[in-house]
């Protein structure tokens, strides 16, 4: 694939476990031009998320990628993090070397604005965490929805139960005011200019169909040419922080060690030994939208503070009379995505060995 055919991406992340897999997927995809990565607080504090991001990119051999940190806290609310889901520093049981490349001196929202202005109509912005950085960027540059090729978002839940409250998804829950600003910006832009690219949103309705299990990790290890590893065997004693993968390949070792924490979390809270890998699916869809079927709808966010606080609301019956600001994913080809994840990350692991 020629460089002119590649898709320029800026990823906005709160790098915990599934963000790390999303970074590996982007770094191993030939059609992706990874322009920069911006980080913020979400799964863990931004000091951890930006360090995790740099370390994962170095593991993938991508020391050329600029990584910038954004706001350490939500716009209005106290910071919440989720170490029980992703581990105390976001990487589960995995331990990566301290990254050698320093983080960027640019402020993450300013980076998003600068790159969009520099390449109008070219960049795809993929948000995998709370929408704080995007909200600040949109307040800095109200034309951002028209400057981007597209905004692709992991966030919300629409026809499925929430994973934070009965009606809310974690990314939106962390900073609902930021999410409301972002969706309102796309609404205003679509209202002014119907040619504005609508946001592409994947909520829990589709991302929870992307389940990774031990068989996928075994397949990835085989693709990488790695020696066998039984660290993910559910029959072994869970919760042992000293147990580490003995796979011969460093990328496979990382994947196994970080996913073991995630698998144990899902076994305790969701009733299956495996994990939803929301964020890599979203990156895969940003690169190939044919992996999902969408419906065009108007989306807004409840910030009332009541029982529905943080809920993403889609007007499926067009009762608001608003123009759609979102292409909402309603079906996803999770099987094809998982095959690509194994092939791409496994192939990159083999090359890195």
Positive or negative: CA dihedral 68, 312, 89, 267: negative
3-state SS of the chain is CCHHHCEEEEEEECCCHHHHHHHHHHHCCCCEEEEEEEECCCCCCHHHHHHHHHHHHHHCCCCCCEEEECCCCCCCCCCCCCHHHHCCCCCCCCCCCCCCCCCCCCCHHHHHHHHHHHCCCCCEEEECCCCHHHHHHHHHCCCHHHHCCEEEEECCCCCCCCCCECCECHHHHHCHHHHHHHHHHHHHHHHHCCCCCCEEEECHHHHCCCEECHHHHHHHHHHHCCCCCCCCCCCCCCCCCCCCCCCCCHHHHHHHHHHHHHHHHHHHHCCCCCEECHHHHHHHHHHCHHHEEEEEECEEECCCCCCCCCCEEECCCCCCCCCCCEEEEEEECHHHHHHHHHHHHHHHHHHHC
Catalytic residue among 45, 86, 216, 278: 278
| Integer CA distances (angstroms), 286 to 114, 150, 172, 218, 261, in order | 21, 9, 19, 26, 27
The span from the first CA to the last CA of the chain, in angstroms, equals 23
> What is each CA distance from 30 to 4, 218, 252, 255, in whole angstroms?
12, 23, 20, 20
User: Which residues contact residue 154 at a Cβ distance below 8 angstroms, ignoring those fewer than 6 apart?
Assistant: 127, 128, 171, 202, 207, 278, 279, 281, 282
Instruction: Specify whether 278 is catalytic.
Output: yes
**Residue numbers annotated as active site:** 278
């Amino acid at each position: 694939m020629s460089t002119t055919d590649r898709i320029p991406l800026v990823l906005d992340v709160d790098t915990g476990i599934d963000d790390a897999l999303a970074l590996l997927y982007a770094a191993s995809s030939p059609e992706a031009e990874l322009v920069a990565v911006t980080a913020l607080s979400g799964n863990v504090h931004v000091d951890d998320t930006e360090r995790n991001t740099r370390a994962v990119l170095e593991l993938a051999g991508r020391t050329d990628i600029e990584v910038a940190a954004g706001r350490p806290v939500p716009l209005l609310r106290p910071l919440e993090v989720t170490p029980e889901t992703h581990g105390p520093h976001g990487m589960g049981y995995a331990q990566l070397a301290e990254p050698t490349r320093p983080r960027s001196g640019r402020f993450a929202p300013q980076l998003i604005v600068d790159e969009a202005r520099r390449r109008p109509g070219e960049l795809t912005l993929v948000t995998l965490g709370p929408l704080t950085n995007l909200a600040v960027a949109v307040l800095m540059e109200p034309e951002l929805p028209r400057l981007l090729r597209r905004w692709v978002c992991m966030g919300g839940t629409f026809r499925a139960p929430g994973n934070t409250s009965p009606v809310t998804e974690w990314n939106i829950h962390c900073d609902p005011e930021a999410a409301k600003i972002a969706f309102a910006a796309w609404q205003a832009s679509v209202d002014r200019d119907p040619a504005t690219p609508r946001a592409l949103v994947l909520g829990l309705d589709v991302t929870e169909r992307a389940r990774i299990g031990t068989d996928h990790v075994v397949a990835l290890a085989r693709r990488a040419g790695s020696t066998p590893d039984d660290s993910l065997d559910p029959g072994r004693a869970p919760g042992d922080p000293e147990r580490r993968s003995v796979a011969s390949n460093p990328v496979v070792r990382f994947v196994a060690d970080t996913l073991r924490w995630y698998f144990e979390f899902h076994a305790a809270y969701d009733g299956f030994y495996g994990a939803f890998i929301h964020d890599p699916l979203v990156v895969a869809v940003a690169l190939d939208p044919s992996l999902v079927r969408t419906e065009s709808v108007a989306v807004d966010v409840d910030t009332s503070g009541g029982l529905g606080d943080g809920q993403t609301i889609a007007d499926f019956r067009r009762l608001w009379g608003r123009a759609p600001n979102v292409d909402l994913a309603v079906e996803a080809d999770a099987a094809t995505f998982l095959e690509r994840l194994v092939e791409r990350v496994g192939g990159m692991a083999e090359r890195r060995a």
